[in-house]
Amino acid sequence: MSDDEREEKELDLSSPEVVTKYKSAAEIINKALQLVVSECKPKAKIVDICERGDSYIREQTGSMYKNVKKKIERGVAFPTCISVNNTVSHFSPLASDETLLEEGDVLKIDMGCHIDGFIAVVAHTHVLQEGPVTGRAADVIAAANTAAEVALRLVRPGRNNKDVTDAIQKVATAFDCKIVEGVLSHQMKQFVIDGNKVVLSVSGPETRVDDVEFEENEVYAVDIVTSSGEGKPKLLDEKQTTIYKRAVDRNYHLKMKASRFIFSEISQKFPIMPFTARALEEKRARLGLVECVNHDLLQPYPVLHEKPDDFVAHIKFTVLLMPNGSDRITSHPLQELQPTKTIDDPEIKAWLALGTKTKKKGGGKKKKGKKGDKTEESTEAEPMDSTTNGAASQE
């Protein structure tokens, strides 16, 4: 076996060290999300909260693995985004942006963290109000949450990606909502946030992906966006796009000096993970990024919108497909929801009744954990009670 093959073999969930790094990244991102939610108040400036989220991730990851011989990369894996109301995703404005939060806003918070390239991502929907969320806003959040709970139970070894696509579609329909087109759930690997194995949110003639089966020791970012509208978001203003990722397989000799300067900075600071243009010098970045995107050196994450009165909800979580079952490592409790729809479909109820852990056969003795080890059982997801109509909190 070559060194490369040995390296490849060691870097999945069969290595306890890899599992630890995923769970450490998840612990940081869950706390970062908690911090961001607590900072979301009426009249708060969105850019300030996004910066606070990213700073927290940098601080927390920076204090880990400081005294190791080999330098370990760590930090933000996806910049903090706060997309409001009918904005679907990826809103992480520049420092000069003055957009404020308002009472009653429906916020989609999206962020990611990595340690040594092992990535934990999370997205959560929060309504800026006291008391329970009601009406169509509650429907759209309950649809996303229930679809996420169903996906958690179907993204497991031996199951197929198409089954998940069909199931989340069915859940959205039960709440009279749509799954938003163009959102993909990706397998993740070390330093790879968008692996080749994907789950489509909506299948159609224009969007086809290979049929794949989930396998043990894989990691997935399950990404679900629901809308009370058509679920066909539009790009309204390219200038709102601020998040990009270096396309590592592309090369081009840039003509403009500003472009070369910016691209050099990106290659040094953000060679692999998505980043925000806020981290670059703003005036020069505006000029340079355009040429980089035009020649496919950067992959943009566009800010898309549904129609003005539509409600949009977003829930994303990281799941480890461990030998003893699926382990959801990122989440945040939801507010109390009072949706207008109830789940009556027996198939959806049957999915929600599934557990997420694999019961081991035989009654062999349990190995004693080392002192300080956390037991796996603490993360076990109980069958979800379908009578809560998707209002169960993500614990």
Residue 248 within a domain:
yes
Residue 80 pLDDT greater than 50, yes or no:
yes
Residue 235 within a domain:
no
Determine the pLDDT at residue 294. 94
Which of 130-139, 279-288, 343-352, 370-379 has the lowest average pLDDT?
370-379
Determine the pLDDT at residue 99. 96
* Domains in the chain, number: 2
**Domain boundary residue, one of 267, 285, 301:** 301
Residue 306 pLDDT greater than 50, yes or no:
yes
The Cα–Cα gap between 247 and 277 comes to 15
Q: Which residue type, as a one-letter code, is found at position 349?
A: K
Residues 75 and 219 in one domain: yes
- Which stretch, 57-71, 78-92, 349-363, 379-393, has highest mean pLDDT? 78-92
Residue 212 within a domain:
yes
Which of 12-26, 97-111, 237-251 has the lowest average pLDDT?
237-251
Residues 186 and 269 in one domain: no
Residues 153 and 276 in one domain: no
Determine the pLDDT at residue 204. 75
DSSP string of 283-294, one letter each residue: HHHHHHHHHHHH
Residue 362 within a domain:
no
Residue 394 pLDDT greater than 70, yes or no:
no
Residue 29 within a domain:
yes
pLDDT mean over 178-207? 91
**Residue 297 vs residue 356, higher pLDDT:** 297
Residues 179 and 260 in one domain: no
Determine the pLDDT at residue 391. 60
Residue 61 pLDDT greater than 80, yes or no:
yes
The Cα–Cα gap between 222 and 261 comes to 36
Residues 148 and 294 in one domain: no
Residue 74 within a domain:
yes
343: domain CATH number?
3.90.230.10
- Which stretch, 105-119, 271-285, 373-387, has highest mean pLDDT? 105-119
Residues 179 and 282 in one domain: no
Residues 134 and 246 in one domain: no
What is the rounded end-to-end Cα distance, in angstroms, of the chain? Answer: 42
Q: Look over the chain and give the mean of its residue pLDDT values, rounded to a whole number.
A: 89
Residue 360 pLDDT greater than 60, yes or no:
no
Share of the chain above pLDDT 90, in %: 78
Number of helices and strands in the chain (H, E): 8, 16
Residues 193 and 143 in one domain: yes
Determine the pLDDT at residue 313. 98
Residue 370 pLDDT greater than 70, yes or no:
no
Residues 225 and 246 in one domain: no
Residue 379 pLDDT greater than 50, yes or no:
no
With CA atoms as reference, report the closest residue to 75 among 50, 93, 58, 100.
58
Residue 234 within a domain:
no
pLDDT mean over 17-32? 98
Please state the pTM of the whole predicted model. 0.90
Residues 152 and 276 in one domain: no
Residues 148 and 296 in one domain: no
Q: Please count the residues of the chain.
A: 395
Domain holding 110, by residue range, is: 16-229+305-353
Residue 145 within a domain:
yes
Residues 21 and 115 in one domain: yes
